[in-house]
Structure 1
Amino acid sequence: MVKAVLFDLDGTLLDRDASIEQFITTQYDRLTAHLSHILKIDYVTRFIELDNRGHVWKDKVYQTLVAEFEIEGMSWQTLLEDYETQFQLHCVPFDFLVEMLKMLKQQGYLLGIVTNGLGQFQTRSIEGLGIRDYFDVILISELEQVRKPQAEIFQRAMTRLDVSASDSVFVGDHPEADIMGAKRAKMRAIWKRSLHWLEVNEADAIINELSEIPLILEQFRGN
């Protein structure tokens, strides 16, 4: 019996690639008085390259941008603060996000998010998606002081939901942090296919769209 469904955030619920591109494009437009000597396409492209799909801290990204593009009159700290406060306004959900969450809640599942990242920033992103109220628990690595793929952060989420691993399913896009992490915690795992990663053979199911999740859960219930 599946009682709880836990989700990764970036790359699973939040279309981070689209969100980053939308944010950095609008940042250039908003701050063009200080950035007009740079072609917009160059600023956007270089930020995305340096960001490396979120694996590089933004302080390093903006320090490099300021140095490479010789930005004057605006410090990297100011650019970073703008990112931290404005990104939430550009959070792009994957298709069918809200519809899927509504359906799962109506079907009685407990829902949670387990995400790596900074507490305040990830909280703002969840709020930016407008999905906070659908979740019974939210665990963010900075606040928990433990990160995926460590089994402990998955186990904490299940403890707070008062469910066992056999009652729980995790949905994520990262082969190691999400799928292998959940499997080490004895959970079933659904891989949300991503162009950034090779096929994940260890997953219990593979989806392309969030709308596929309810049917997968029904299949799990039958096993």
Structure 2
Amino acid sequence: MKGTYMSRERLEKLAAEGMERLFEKVPKAREFHAAEWSDPDYYRRHLVETVLRIRLNNEVDAYGLYKVGYKDHRLAATLARYLSEENNHEGMFLRDLKEFGLSKEDVDATRPMPSTEYLMGYMYFSINQEGPLPTTVWNWFVEWYSDRYNPGITKHAAEIYGLEKVKGSQAHIDYDESHDHDELMWGTVDRAIKGWGSLDDAERHLVNFIDLIALYFTELYETTAGRKA
């Protein structure tokens, strides 16, 4: 138990440090995550990319589950539970996008940003090479990030754009909290570290993921609010 706690403490510290580096170099990222700034084009496109990433991530998780196979039934069961619980969650964000004037067909016709394509490519490559450890680290980081930043971002968006435009996002936050997804996903990281790699491997993937997210937020700003600026 002590080793598990220390491993989690190290990854949480590394995640916080990585996000701080992101805030230092990406325009408006600090203000957006601190619920001090938003822009309608930026926020709307962020919701679109959230939908696209959820869909793609479900496919990646399924591939990670496939790579577990029969080698760890407990890990497979937990990943399957998470995949089941996250399935179709894009519908919550599609509800908000409808309030912003975008239909499901509009979102379906949108190509993911290159940064998202890079992220998914990295995920497939690393899972193929190393098994399920990368996807467990990514899913844990997503839940850690969501717990830390999304409530403030959503509350700020409600104040600016109105409650009707954030009901889906708030429903997703409430769902994750009620199902304790942060804790659930840490359990998969801990198990994957023990059976499929090392803490150093997990840290390497986490650093790479945050670098890819920094690339995403840079691209998001440059293609929306940055153009107007």
TM over 0.5: no
Greater relative contact order (CA < 8 Å, ≥ 6 in sequence): 2
- The structure number with the bigger radius of gyration is 1
Q: Which has the higher helix share?
A: 2
Q: What TM bracket, shorter-length normalisation?
A: under 0.3
Q: Which has the higher strand share?
A: 1
